[in-house]
Amino acid sequence: MPGVPERDDPEAGAASTQGEHSGASFDACTAAQADRWTAVALRTISPELDADASREAWTWLYDGRMATRKALIRAEPCEVSVTQAGTRITWTIHPVLILPLAHRQEGELPACADDLKPQPLGAW
């Protein structure tokens, strides 16, 4: 399961790191904010990457970033990855569309119902 390291294989007699995953999340409100966060993360780690991984990072920053933003605006998921010393680092970016509340009688709406403002699909 993503975000959860796989357990050691007791049959192997040693800790297994193959297939290990860890995860974190960041909530962005727009496509621009999501790709900006990814760009900041890549720029932050790039000085510590080896030459090949750094090249992967800067290729996305210069050539792939706009395609990522356009895909997010179309509500399509995206991934950005670099490989450092045999470790694959991947940012998965996907829009989460919020569904409107089910129809209710006006007098029965919860107090928070007016807080949710539907946005057009292209706003993401």
Per-residue confidence (pLDDT) for residue 103, from 0 to 100: 58
The pLDDT, as a whole number, for residue 61 is 93
- How far apart are the C-alpha atoms of 46 and 24, rounded to whole Å? 19
Q: Where are the beta strands (DSSP E) in the chain?
A: 78-84, 87-93
Q: Within a domain: residue 59?
A: yes
**Residue 32 covered by a domain:** yes
pLDDT digits (tens, 9 = 90+) for 72-117: 889 899 999 999 998 998 988 888 776 665 555 555 666 676 776 6
Residue 60, in any domain of the structure: yes
What pTM, to 2 d.p., does this model score?
0.60
Residue 5 resides in a domain? no
Predicted pLDDT of residue 32: 87
Domain that holds residue 34: 26-96
Q: How many domains does the chain have?
A: 1
Distance, CA of 34 to CA of 13 (rounded, Å): 42
Q: How many angstroms separate the CA atoms of 76 and 88, rounded? A: 22
In a domain, 104, yes or no: no
Say if 14 falls within a structural domain.
no
Closest C-alpha to 82, from 61, 57, 45 = 57
Alpha-carbon distance of 97 to 95, in angstroms, equals 6
CA 26 from chain centre, in angstroms, equals 7
- Determine, yes or no, domain membership for 34: yes
Mind giving me the DSSP string for 88-119? EEEEEE---PPPPPPP--GGG--GGGGG----
35 contacts: CB under 8 Å, gap ≥ 6: 65, 68, 69, 72, 93
Confirm whether 3 is domain-assigned: no
